[in-house]
Structure 1
Amino acid sequence: MRRVKRILLLIPNLDFGGAQRAFYYLGRELSADYEVYECVFNQDGGIAFPSENMLYDLEIPAGKNILDKGYRFLQRVFKVRSLKKKLQIDLTISMLEGADHVNILSKHKDWVWLCVQGSKSFDKDMRYEALSKKFLIPFFYKKADRIIAVSEGIRKELIKQFNINERKVVVIENAVDQKMVDQKKSEPLPDLYKQLFSTNKVIVTSGRLHNQKNQLPLFDVYAEIHRIDPQIRMFIIGDGPLKQEMENRAEKFSFKTYFQWNAVEPTGSESVFFLGYQDNPFKYIYNSNLFIFPSLWEGYPLALLEAMSCAVPVLAADCPTGPRQILAPNNAKDVYELEQLEVGEYGMLLPLITGRKNSNAVSVWAETILRFINDREFISYYGKRSRSRAKDFSVEVIGSRWKAELAKQ
């Protein structure tokens, strides 16, 4: 029987994102036992997570129109297939949908594995959504030799909605690098922020400024908080396409907001701080009182796991998929219609802030934050619970599960 020796990891890019970080961790862990190569479509967004594995850049950027996109897609397929032949790849693992399609169509003599990082049913940004859900996903994914879903929710939707053979789908969650988090969280804060964190109560969230991450409603949540306790400060870490929308929304409120990308130094009198991309978000999270996570959909969110690694209590939207599996693993549900606070074993689950189904969600979030940010026993207890749960997903634990699965091939 042929054994796996050479593995190719395929992803569209290696810029700043949770899937890219998971890709980096996987490549690092597998390289101890396998000959690992990495491949990206292009480096237009830079390489945020460089590894010691050999990296191949196809140098094929995104297309400008539908014909150009199709042409470049075929280019990617032919180049990846040629690379698989050249390197004599035994198994190829892809992450993110574009890479999954290329992986399947470029199949040579290799086994094809797909690592599905996000919900397909609830993804509101999926290109050609109707076409993808009805035809492309069922067609392509059925051809994979193995599908690794990062959450049980994703596994279920692949089987039930897209009719994927359940024997092909295995759950292996994303990993968190506890040693890296521990090292970075202890780095000192800038002087101004050190003073603010020591003299105020602070809530923090971290993620791309993107519709998926749902930071815009946090202005409404914070307005209710600020009205009752103006000493509470909110820090939002991340960069993305919604920067201007964040500035526009901030103008509607009386409290001051700081935006790092405007190249103006903060005075310390601001209530809300947008810090942009931070190479080390952990020192802010570690020194905060609460971490909040309002996403509309996820896969198995690394940002949440990394915050928990900082031993900080977390409040997360009960979105598809991941937060419930992380915070309340013994109370699994396939519907996401939470209307009030649910106290989980490892953190708090809150309703989605959509402005439609649950108009009371903003008040629930504000009341929950105000209730727990002043509760020292809660912060101490759930800080420890957070840290304990994050250890279940260390790179060592998750890496061993990947290797055990590879040994079955």
Structure 2
Amino acid sequence: MDLNLLVNSFSGGGAEKQMLALLERLDYKKAFTLEKEAFPAGEPANHLALSKHGPGASNLIKFLSLGSYARVLSGNLSKNDLLISFMTRSNLVNVRASLKTGHFPVICERTNPSREFKNFRALLYRPLIRKNYPEAGMAVANSEGVKHCLVSDFGLAPEKIKVINNHLDNEKISLKMKEDPGELGKIFESPVLINSGRLTEAKAQWRLLKIFSCLKKVDPEPKLVILGDGELKDYLTALSRALGLRTFDITKDPPSEHYDVYFLGFQENPYKFLYRSRLFVFTSAWEGFPNALLEAMACRLPVISANCEYGPAEILGIKAAISDYADQKPRYSDFGILLPALNGEKIRQAGENPDGTEKLWVDHIEAALGDHKIIRKYSEMSAVRALDFDIKKIALNWKILAAEAGSVSNGAG
């Protein structure tokens, strides 16, 4: 069978980066995207956009276009094709098109769909996921937690689901992290807590700001750097200032080492900032298998993470028992520190008192910053753990999956 790949677009978050890296290592016929985009660094080989929608198209337009995406896709595939899709909309399009073409659809879920789709989006997407996902020939989850979610909440047969973790290009990261941070380098003369990821509800950086404001009362030396952009930027920068933190916005302010919090936006090379930080602090409310956490570890950075659903516990080497998510005690694992998940509700008033979980986070962060043995141990173990997710290993798993999917399809035919 001929291997083809589909993703919403090649720009944006972690799933898109994962797909782009796989294109360099898999022998594929066509690479499809739902949306049309510019490629400053060069368009991937054999790429075809299924629409003229650009990055600015509304989410509703994209949802209403699922059928048209599937019709265009079905005109470019045949029964002899295998199509691996990443991300929810692409997965739905993949399954729909297969009903017409007879191609073998492999869907890949990269997040926790039970948490990702809320309110109005839940009404739109959850019924479609329940209807279409079980019809896929095979499914791939990027963590055991996401696999559990697909089985328990959306009715997929467990035997249809393979787990392939996200990958890291350790060689590339080790080169890029040594690059000069330029005039922003002065920030790192102080101990820096750092977080990276889109500024969205899932990442819950408002809790990080609250925790950091409490930490500053007992230890005025650390600074906080947040890498990433997103729809909550204005809310987060306003909250930071309301918490009494001197707040730097890279789009507005001249660089200076005299701020408390630095919003550095999207950075083409985040690794040079991660590498120079003291501690990576990850407060997400939900995940699938977070690339940001993996990349921090590849930069030899000690990590403290929320035990959110799903991914961090598995990355930090804790057995992926679903019951573990109900047991929210602090854990010092072989590879990092796992702390109880935080309240995912937005902070409405900067003056509200910290809750017990936030106080616990402050205590553990303060203790880690003051313990050079802990910092050194987890720096070394982060680098060791990152090798388990190297792209050379993970790409081989995808090749094996493609061969297995071809065998299953031929047997079914």
How high is the TM-score relative to the length of structure 1?
Answer: 0.90
Q: Give the alignment partner of residue 100 of structure 1, picking from 88, 91, 105.
A: 91
Distance 2:321 2:63 in 1: 41
Deviates most, 309-318 or 54-63: 54-63
1:196 maps onto 2:187 in alignment: yes
Given the alignment of the two structures, is residue 405 of structure 1 paired with residue 397 of structure 2, yes or no?
no
Deviations 1:156-181 (A, max 9, x none): 22222222122211101111111111
2:297 is aligned to: 308
Q: Which amino acid is 1:161 matched to?
A: D
SS of equivalent to 2:323: coil
Q: Is the 8 A contact 2:144 2:320 kept in 1?
A: no
Name the counterpart of 2:148: 156
- Name the counterpart of 2:13: 17
Q: Over aligned residue pairs, what C-alpha RMSD do you find?
A: 2.2
What is the alpha-carbon distance in structure 1 between the residues aligned to residue 46 and residue 325 of structure 2? 42
Matched residue type, 2:235: E
3-state SS of paired residue (2:156): coil
Distance 1:195 1:266, change over 3 A: closer
Number of the residue aligned with 1:110: 103
User: Are 2:280 and 1:291 aligned?
Assistant: yes
Match 2:387 to one of 377, 383, 391: 391
Question: 2-side partners of 1:176 and 1:49: how far apart?
Answer: 20
Deviation at 1:127, TM superposition (A): 5.3
Once the two structures are superposed, residues 193-213 of structure 1 have per-residue CA deviations (whole angstroms, 9 ceiling, x without a partner) of 323313x11111100011111
Instruction: List runs of 5+ in structure 2 lacking aligned partners.
Output: 346-353, 407-413
Residue 205 of structure 2 corresponds to which residue in structure 1?
215
Candidates 315, 331, 340, aligned match of 1:326:
315
- Name the counterpart of 2:255: 266
Name the counterpart of 2:231: 241
Alpha carbons of structure 1 residues 367 and 374: separation in structure 2 relative to 1, 3 Å: same
The one-character-per-residue Cα deviations of 1:286-328 (angstroms, maximum 9, x if unpaired) are 0111011111111111111111001110011101110001113
Work out the CA distance in 1 between the residues paired with 2:119 and 2:19: 20
SS at match of 2:140: strand
Q: 1:70 to 1:339 in 2, by over 3 A?
A: closer
C-alpha displacement of 1:49: 7.8
How far does residue 238 in structure 1 lie from its aligned partner after superposition? 0.4
1:77 Cα deviation after fit: 1.0
Which stretch has the larger CA shift, 209-218 or 158-167? 158-167
Percent identical: 28
Structure 1 letter corresponding to 2:36: Q
Post-superposition offset of 1:404:
1.4
CA drift of 1:332 comes to 3.1
Question: Which residues in structure 2 correspond to 1:58-97 (within 5 Å)?
Answer: 58-61=50-53, 72-85=65-78, 90-97=81-88
Note the C-alpha offset of 1:139: 1.4
Map of 2:351 onto structure 1: none
Query: Are the structure 2 counterparts of residues 183 and 355 from structure 1 closer, same or farther at C-alpha, using a change threshold of 3 Å?
Result: closer
Q: Contact (CA 8 Å) 2:66, 2:92: kept in 1 or not?
A: no
Contact 2:117 2:125 in 1 (8 A): no
Q: Alignment partner for residue 162 of structure 2, among 154, 164, 170?
A: 170
Q: Is contact 1:236–1:275 with CA below 8 Å preserved after alignment?
A: yes
Q: Is the 8 A contact 1:324 1:332 kept in 2?
A: no
Find the counterpart in structure 1 of residue 349 from structure 2. Answer: none
Which of these residues, 371, 377, 389, is aligned with residue 375 of structure 1? 371
Q: Which residue does 2:35 correspond to in 1?
A: 42
CA distance in 1, matches of 2:222, 2:62: 47
Q: Partners in 1 of 2:196 and 2:223 — Cα distance?
A: 15
Measure how far apart 1:338 and its partner are.
Answer: 4.9
- Per the TM alignment, residue 149 of structure 1 is displaced from its structure 2 partner at its CA by 0.6
Distance 1:71 1:21 in 2: 25
- Per the normalisation by structure 2, the TM-score is 0.89
- Aligned residue for 1:216, secondary structure, equals helix
CA contact 1:292–1:314 (8 Å) conserved in 2 = yes
